[in-house]
Structure 1
Amino acid sequence: MKRVAVLGATGSIGASALDVIARHPTALRATVLAAGRQVDALVELCRQHRPEHAVIADEAMLGRLRDRLRGAGLSTIAHAGDAALVELVGGDACDTVVAAIVGAAGLPSTLAAARAGKRLLLANKESLVLAGELLMAAAREGGATIVPIDSEHNAIFQCLPDAPARDGLARIILTASGGPFRGRSRASLRDVTVEQAVAHPKWSMGPKISVDSATLMNKGLEVIEAHHLFDVDGDRIQVLVHPQSLVHSLVEFVDGSTLAQLGLPDMRTALAVGFAWPQRIASGVSGLDLLAEGGRLEFEPPDLDAFPCLRLAFDALAAGGTAPAVLNAANEVAVSAFLQRRVGFLSIPAIVEDTLAALPAIPAVSLDALHDADAAARRHASRAVDDRSSA
């Protein structure tokens, strides 16, 4: 019986993870559920899944969580704050951790799970973009198994053999849907509205990640993740636009073979792989009928003139050190300003590029160095936003 901690339990990935867990009651059990501020939603999940522990990030809500659990007649123990979550994921409460807390807030618990040698189902981009070197070192030292849960990296995970056969790897090919503006020129993007940018043609996502998809920054962040996860240099990582979104990624080998993983775009497939690998278990996702999906698989190169954020991510990866943290922080500031209608769509890559140029990379020797780089990038990008919004 695998004992699973689901971090970010009230989000979409948490819901998918709990769906898969519920399908295998003799093999999987949710023992720790963690959420940010949604006490009522967390308590309802505790009613359904009966975990041993529930954690709310906001420490001011501990009393409310404890009272609601008691009122529901549950024996689930209430906890609050990062320190409690780190202690739970690093201890005996679980052996498998679904890391789906959004943003840098998920980094401490993710690192704790890696250091404790857990099976880590990783859905937190920031853990790798901000601190990829530190996280992978912690996983090696702790003996953790990291299974990426986003569809592209999970596809690569499934296609890549273990060493020494991995020595035959030639390159990794990440696929991108192209977002809502695929095929448009840079000039035509000047007057893009917020509503247009968040209208993804394939998925309903939050506004920030929708804008990242529209700029192709999300794919740039995935390039950085792939470098850390699979120990592959940036010059052996390629991105192809694939509008059908059925081929999730491909792996090419030196003998000319290329392996691809295909499937419907449903996170439960990747989560089932993470829980059971190298075995396979039912996820609740149906098989892929290519004829029903249109019978066509199309690929095209990304337009780096129209979507320079992807190029900037490759540049940050090549610079190394703190550059990916600077890239990520500047992008968050710029996207937030765009969503607030303070700057235009094309200002997003311009602000990121300006911030990268202003803050040269230094070695990412510690979390403190990364936090400092993140803070400096946010200050610089915020000034750039002010300059553009007042012009």
Structure 2
Amino acid sequence: MKRIGIIGSTGSIGRQALDVISRNPDKFEVVFISCNGNLELLKQQGAQCGARYLCSTGLAGEGILSGECEILKILDNEKIDMVLLAAVGAAGTVYAYETVKRGITLALANKESIVASGRILFDAAKRTGAKILPVDSEHSAIFQCLHGQDKRFLDKVTLTASGGAFRNTPADALEYVTLEQALRHPNWSMGSKITVDSATMMNKGLELIEARYLFDIEPSMLSVVIHPQSVVHSFVSFKDGSLIAQMGEPDMRTPIAYAMAYPERMESGVRPIDLAKVGSLTFFEPDMKKYPCLGIAVEVLKKDSNAPMIVMNAANEVAVAEFIGGQIEYRDIAGVISAVLDVCAPSEPEEIADVLSADAMAREASEKVIKRFYR
């Protein structure tokens, strides 16, 4: 049995991971689960999955270990085979690093940690031999498509995107869209932050950067297409003209199960897709006028440097939080990110402390930009 810990068990990915585990009780022992503040759900989950430890990085509660250091103590003192990092945002960076530093397999559903600490994270994994397995549907797809392939013959890696809540909305009609509209994702059920990122397509920009590090692929070989049906989760093409795609229902339990069972497969609760019922699949290029956040991310990717990636990610997190909180408009998100990139230029990080310092610097700059220009 794999001994597993889940960081962010009360979020969308964490809940679905526990559902997969419940379908395969002979394959996993849950050592710990953690949340930030949803203590009641955490207790319910603990009772259902038999987790030995319940942890909270935010609110304190009876019978719950409180504080970030408690998770690190568990990693030090318990035999753990895998950590599923399902927490949202750059807050997951430390957990990702501390997991691989200990040689523990990391099932990664937190794209921001790679964006913020790509080279440092993967250098640590190389030193300890820790595996980093992708959980995002797009990166799981690429991982599966590249399995057994020689990357010397690779031509291009293409990530598919749903296009988010506004894929059918003209660019000039986005001036006054609301939070409620941005949260109406047509295909996926996700948390607020990632759903807004999907609407702006910043999520796809972050995923391009994530793919660059996960698969050690040059930025020029990465691209994005919009695929409204979300059936093809990504595809790769080779120099001989071959193209390999991974397909399936738009259900996160499939990539979650693949990462947790790797190198095997197991029951996920998702049935194979019926292509005859799907009927047709469509693909088209993203409109950069509609998705300026994606354009910003592509330019940052071209720099192939962690420092501007950290700044962009932090500015996006702050801007999205302000939009969700009703403090800025949807159209302001890209403006905030662009302005912060212009004024904030930390040194390239050499260690994880530098990443956290640059992240804090970028968040402070973001607050100043918003206060000066958008309030």
In the alignment, structure 1 residue 241 sits paired with structure 2 residue 235: no
Q: Does 1:349 align with 2:334?
A: yes
Counterpart for residue 10 of structure 2: 10
Who is 1:69 aligned against?
none
**Structure 2: 5+ residue stretches without partners:** none
Alpha-carbon spacing, 1:58–1:353, altered in 2? closer, same or farther (3 Å)? closer
Superposed displacement of residue 90, structure 1: 4.2
**C-alpha deviation, 1:381, in angstroms:** 2.1
Indicate which of 287, 303, 308 corresponds to 1:323: 308
**Which of 125, 138, 145 in structure 2 is aligned with 1:152?**
138
Larger radius of gyration: 1
Q: 1:112 to 1:292 in 2, by over 3 A?
A: same
CA contact (8 A) 2:162 2:227 kept: yes
Q: CA deviation at 1:330?
A: 1.1
User: Matches of residues 279-298 of structure 1 in structure 2 within 5 Å?
Assistant: 279-293=264-278, 295-298=279-282
Which residue type is aligned with residue 237 of structure 1? L
Offset from partner CA, 1:24-60 (integer Å, 9 cap, x none): 2222221222222233322222221222222222474
**CA pair 333-108 structure 1, distance change in 2 beyond 3 A:** closer
Query: For this pair of structures, how many residues does the alignment match?
Result: 374
Q: 1:27 to 1:342 in 2, by over 3 A?
A: closer
CA distance in 2, matches of 1:52, 1:326: 37
Question: How does 1:38-53 map onto structure 2 within 5 Å?
Answer: 38-53=38-53
Q: Which moved more, 1:203-212 or 1:226-235?
A: 203-212
1:359 partnered with 2:370: no
Q: Contact 1:179/1:200 (CA < 8 Å) preserved in 2? A: yes
Q: Secondary structure at the match of 1:384?
A: helix
1:112 correspondence with 2:67: no
Cα distance, 1:275 vs. partner?
Answer: 1.8
Q: CA deviation at 1:389?
A: 3.0
Compared with structure 1, are the counterparts of its residues 92 and 23 closer, same or farther at alpha carbon in structure 2 (3 Å cutoff)?
A: same
In the other structure, the counterpart of 2:19 is 19
Identity across the alignment (%): 41
- Is residue 299 of structure 1 aligned with residue 259 of structure 2? no
Matched position secondary structure for 2:197: helix
Q: Output the amino acid matched with 1:111.
A: Y
Alpha-carbon distance in 2 for matches of 1:339, 1:45 = 27
3-state SS of the aligned residue for 2:147? coil
Report 1:166-181 matches (<5 A). Answer: 166-181=151-166
1:162/1:118 CA distance change after superposition, 3 Å: farther
Alpha carbons 1:86, 1:108 under 8 Å: kept? no
Distance in 1 between residues matched to 2:328 and 2:49, nearest whole Å = 44
Contact 1:90/1:113 (8 A) holds in 2: no
**2:118–2:306 contact (8 Å) kept in structure 1:** no
Match of 2:85 in 1: 99
Quick one: distance in 1 between partners of 2:147 and 2:192? Answer: 36
- Residues of 1 paired with 2:300 and 2:363: CA distance? 16
The alpha carbon displacement at 1:122 in A equals 0.5
CA distance in 2, matches of 1:105, 1:181: 28
In the other structure, the counterpart of 1:335 is: 320
The residue type paired with residue 174 of structure 1 is L
TM-score scaled by length of structure 2: 0.94
Structure 1 contact 106–124 (Cα < 8 Å) conserved: yes
CA-to-partner distance for each residue in 1:121-149, whole Å, 9 max, x for gaps?
A: 11112211111111111111111111111
Residues 16 and 207 (structure 1), Cα distance of their counterparts in 2 relative to 1, 3 Å cut:
closer
Aligned residue number for residue 36 of structure 1: 36
CA distance in 2, matches of 1:194, 1:59: 27
Within-5 A mapping of 1:64-143: 64-65=62-63, 79-143=65-129
Letter in 1 for 2:138: E
Quote how far apart the aligned CAs of 1:183 are. Answer: 4.2
Task: Find the aligned partners of 1:25 and 1:184 in 2 and give their Cα distance.
Answer: 44
Cα 1:147–1:179, aligned 2, differ >3 Å: closer, same or farther? same
Deviations 1:65-92, CA, capped at 9 Å, x for gaps: 2xxxxxxxxxxxx533211201223443
Aligned-pair distance for 1:188? 1.9
Name the CA distance, whole Å, in 1 between partners of 2:33 and 2:347.
37
Using the alignment, how far apart are the partners of 2:271 and 2:147 within structure 1? 25
**Which residue in 2 is equivalent to 1:309?**
293
Change (3 A) 1:341 1:80: closer
**Alignment partner of 1:253 out of 229, 238, 242:** 238
Question: Counterpart of 1:30 in 2: which secondary structure?
Answer: strand
Q: How does 1:211-230 map to 2 (within 5 A)?
A: 211-230=196-215
Does the 8 Å contact 1:321/1:362 carry over to 2?
A: no
Give the AA of the match of 2:186.
Answer: P
Aligned to 1:74: none
Match of 2:175 among 179, 190, 214: 190
SS at 1:302's partner residue? coil
Distance 1:361 1:224, change over 3 A: farther
Q: RMSD of the TM alignment (CA)?
A: 1.8
Which has the bigger relative contact order, CA under 8 A and spacing at least 6?
2
For residue 192 of structure 2, the aligned residue among 207, 210, 216 is 207
Distance 2:13 2:201 in 1: 21
CA contact (8 A) 1:115 1:143 kept: no
Q: Shift of the alpha carbon at 1:199?
A: 1.5
